[in-house]
Structure 1
Amino acid sequence: NALAGFQKWEEGPSSETQQNKENPEEINKKRTAL
């Protein structure tokens, strides 16, 4: 699960984790930015 791997790689507030679950595109943007 790529989402689980991302959460482990970038541990943040639970609110941010919920946003990542609802907006997978945002995760791709963050990964691309890095």
Structure 2
Amino acid sequence: MNNFPKIIISGGGTGGHIFPAIAIANALKQLM
């Protein structure tokens, strides 16, 4: 059984919106 929470991160299609979303996803991955 998987104990990790499911998280959805939404970002726009431009670099100014997608790169912060990727950074948040990577930071959350490191915390888990």
Q: Which bracket does the TM-score occupy, shorter chain normalised?
A: 0.3 to 0.5
Larger radius of gyration: 2
More helix by share: 1
TM-score by length of 2: 0.40
TM-score by length of 1: 0.38
